[in-house]
Structure 1
Amino acid sequence: TLLNKFIGNVEKNEEFVLSTTIQHVIGVRNGSDDKTILAGAVTDSMILSIFSPDEKTSKSGSKSLCDLIEENEIFGHSLMTTGFIQKVQHAFTNNQQSSSSSQTESTTPYHVKCGLLDIIHKLAATVDDLQPISILIPILIVLKTNEDKNIKKKSENIFIFLNSKGINAPSSESTKENDEKIQYLEEQNRIKDEETRRKDEQLQKELIEKSKETKRAEEAEEKVRIAEERARLAEERTRQADIQLRAAQDHVLLVAKQTTKPSQIPASLNSALQKMNVPQGDKGRVQGSSFVHSNERCNSTITMDPIINEGVARFEVVFNEHDGEKFSLIFKFGNCYCFASLQIE
């Protein structure tokens, strides 16, 4: 039929929604009068709402279905016998990829799992025949070890209640399949635990590295601070040394001024005429108050008279036309000699 054309692809689009709705109306109006089947027609849409990715819609569907189970036992009986338990089983094991299909089922949202466990608990507390729920016992055993406290508590409550009623896991041919599902779920939990452990280790490493970087930065700042302090102290020492040097220079100038006043220098010495003594053999000559060096390249050593034994005297020497040449002056004070080297520029 035309409706099957839109329904057959099982793709949730506008045509699929309208086609399934029309098909549902036709089925309810023209179908069986059996109350269990009719109750299933009512709960089907609620079950679809529970599996909604929208948490608010899912919780609303879960609450409505729990209320129906409590109001009329026919709805609980219908859910137990028309495939709802299998849908719950599928919801908790749908992470596996089918070996006969290339399609991969999506992971059941957390709020859907919580809503389904609430409905199973309501069924266990309301319905007389609890044997159909036994196929969920292997799943409940795994969920009891779940790290989420809410799911763990809900699973434990259902498991304890079923155990008190003598409901155990089925010993049919499906045991192997259930064992495989349990093994898969345990493996999934192990993978999640391993992933969590790796993330914790990575976070710990990052924290340690960040701590090391912070320590290195603090040590670098401390080194900079120490270097700046040393530079400041060195600058301060230099400044103090400059101050002391200037003070010493000022003191020397002051002493020099006080000891070289004209009144303290004997007038006889100020006006005394020096006599130059040329060693024998030197080819230079004395001309008035000047000593004229010979044209030969040689050193000349001359002495000056008179000899001054006391007081203060001023001695001046003028060198003409000797640019770039060096001269030495030697002064004798008692048994001590003072040597001065001059270069004419």
Structure 2
Amino acid sequence: MTGFPVRKVLGAALALLVATLPIGAAASAAPALSLPRPTGPYAVGTTTLHLTDPARADPWRPDVRRELMVSLWYPARPDDGPAAPYTTAAVSSRIVAAEGLPLPPDVLTTVATNARRDVPVRPPAGRGWPLVVLSPGFSLSRESLTGLAEDLAARGYVVAGVDHPYEARGVEFPDGRVAECLACELDGVLPKVVRGRAADVSFLLDRLTGARPAWRGARYLDRRRIAVVGHSIGGASAAHLLTTDRRVDAAADLDGTLFVPVATNRPLLLVGADRPADASWTRDWPGVTGWKRWLTVAGTGHMSFTDRPVLGAQLGLDPGAVPAERQLLITREYVAAFLDVHLRHRHRPLLDGPSPAFPEVAVDTPLRN
């Protein structure tokens, strides 16, 4: 549950597309790429933060301090500001190069998003906006969860997507430096990744909710309502944060093996792809003594909880049994329902049991061999 099978999802689609084009035609003939529109009522803004933790050495580069790149998505005032880029050319080129694909290196910079860059935050009507931190899968970067982030922001959440340097194919800093995936070349590091990411998120919370926040929009946050959601190993770190940071009220793990055991009385949502039950989830399930749900989504794979199936389908790849945009819709609806229940204390019957609207989703019936 922790790999990054780009070749099976985005990479396979790109390779298929290129194979059907005349030599030299790939750049001009590539179809337009875009993310589905958010479902919430608010316009979406976004901005980026570059943070450095002076008290912590980087776990993969002990000679430097730990740096983070963070994208913030938030409810915005309606504005005609510039559309936000999906990712940078440097990051796109490293994803393409990692798979050896004969495509324009900047192909992922062409993805059309639904957020406007650096537009004003919409003030909340009452309490501040709840905060949700997103952590991507191993070797992925923060753009891989943009479709989920935009939707949550449109529903009234501030969302912070974190890049964990040296654990992604590429993380670009404002001065043009690019952190390559050093951890990708090592064996036996996944528990270290989980613990390190939890430390990254705790530092980010310090910088967003402390006395002198790093983002001027932080005055609109409700510091008492915080959740962490992650994909793959990002989901494992989200669950781990329930045991390490009391500020985290709830966590959701999207198809991530629990490399560090989890025991907690705080809310935990596990969402798994269509495969036999993960052994670590079965192991830790009894130790989750508070609210908990375990969902299994039929017809899906590991990358179904990211943007990759949507972009892959636009590039010609068959998404499988579940249409690509529906895969993203399922993720959006169930994650939002979980956050509404535990950060807004709203009843969402979607989490009470099977739903006729989403027959693909089995609730708390995962213990298969």
TM-score under structure 2 length normalisation: 0.24
Report the structure, 1 or 2, having the larger strand content: 2
Report the structure, 1 or 2, having the larger helix content: 1
Relative contact order higher in (CA < 8 Å, ≥ 6 apart): 2
Larger radius of gyration: 1
